[in-house]
Amino acid sequence: MRLNHLLYRGAIFAMVAGFATVSWAQNPAANYPNKPIRFIIPYAAGGLGDTVGRLAAQHMSTSLGQPVLADNRPGASQAIALDLTAKATPDGYTLVLGTQSGLIFNTAAKKSLPYDPFRDIASISMLFTVPYYLLVHPSLPAKNLQELIALAKANPGKYSFGSIGVGSGNHLAMEILKVRTGIDMVHVPFKGAPQGMLALVAGDLQLTFEGPVTSLPNIRSGKVRALASSGSQRTHALPDLPTMAESGMPGFDVVTWFGLSTTGGTPRPIIDRLNREVGEFLKLPATRDRFNSLNLDIVYSTPEAMTARLKADLPLITKVMRAAGIQPE
């Protein structure tokens, strides 16, 4: 009698476990998330990517009901962060914030990578686009783009420009300027925007393209001088500042975009759940106000649209890299 009772209980337990397994297989997002989520940020603390990444992580912690823990992993043109993501379990508990340059730069450079950005990294959604400001140290006599070009041509190899890493968006923007004008300048990569800005303010660099988070306070305080913005239209933060095109560089339109990704092979229901979370985050009035203050243009997309944008950007970035002779770190 006791044995039959135990067998009966065992059968019931097995049935419940079996139903749970089938339920998870049919809808793996049903109990997601049930533990903390790692949110990898491939930038140093204090820059634009870190600022936005932490805003998104904070929102998701509240909306998902589990801690979403920001983890800064800068370096190697975002390859360190992407490799960690690619090697994680494909269950939606590892997310990574990245840009189009970081997601495909090392591929365009034909660098040997331990991951494939299209197979091992799964798109969730784009988040926003952002222009750059062309900045110079106040000691540089150039007051506009044409004066800067003339100055650089008269002093080949004399001036240094910073970036947040080889192949980063602001590095590629400067390389496009170099290729189009024939000027010769020295590239100095940093691990993050704050470090590069400190070097520019100190006069260790003479110029850079940089995003609004680190640029605007230093422009307004007079620590750096802005010559132009990199997008096709003037920015609302500095409406009197001309674009590169208006400054004599027709067709110059260089912005970077950020997107959220996870590990390749993550079940589609989980990716869809995360995509909806991104959409809710971007619709919040507080998010829109904050992004507006940072001069960011919100772009919400499907996973497929983000991947398509990456594939479209790959040949463009490859062309710039070949023309400029850029090699991965």
pLDDT value of position 97? 98
Higher pLDDT: 19 or 127? It is 127
pLDDT value of position 263? 99
Whether pLDDT at 308 is above 70: yes
pLDDT in tens, 171-200: 999 999 999 999 999 999 998 899 999 999
pLDDT value of position 76? 84
How much of the chain exceeds pLDDT 70, in percent? 91
Gap between the Cα atoms of 240 and 234, Å rounded: 8
Q: Within a 10 A sphere around the Cβ of 54, how many other Cβ atoms?
A: 17
What are the distances in angstroms from CA 12 to CA 4, 6, 243? 12, 10, 70
pLDDT in tens, 216-231: 999 999 999 999 999 9
Q: Which CATH architecture has domain 37-129+257-324?
A: 3-Layer(aba) Sandwich (3.40)
pLDDT in tens, 271-281: 999 999 999 99
Q: Within a 10 A sphere around the Cβ of 319, how many other Cβ atoms?
A: 12
pLDDT-based confidence at 95, cuts 50/70/90? very high
Q: Where are the beta strands (DSSP E) in the chain?
A: 37-41, 68-72, 94-99, 121-131, 133-136, 160-163, 186-189, 207-210, 225-229, 255-263, 297-298
Whether pLDDT at 236 is above 80: yes
- Among 33, 21, 91, which Cα is nearest to 267's? 91
Give start-end residues of each CATH 3.40.190.10 domain in the chain: 133-229
Class of domain 133-229 as given by CATH: alpha beta
pLDDT in tens, 258-274: 999 999 999 999 999 99
pLDDT-based confidence at 6, cuts 50/70/90? very low
Determine contact, residues 217/71, Cβ cutoff 8 Å: no
Gap between the Cα atoms of 42 and 103, Å rounded: 11
pLDDT value of position 270? 98
pLDDT value of position 111? 73
Q: Which of 6-20, 96-110, 126-140, 314-328 has the highest mean pLDDT?
A: 126-140
Give start-end residues of each CATH 3.40.190.150 domain in the chain: 37-129+257-324
Whether pLDDT at 2 is above 50: no
> What single-letter DSSP state applies at residue 1?
-
pTM for this one?
0.80
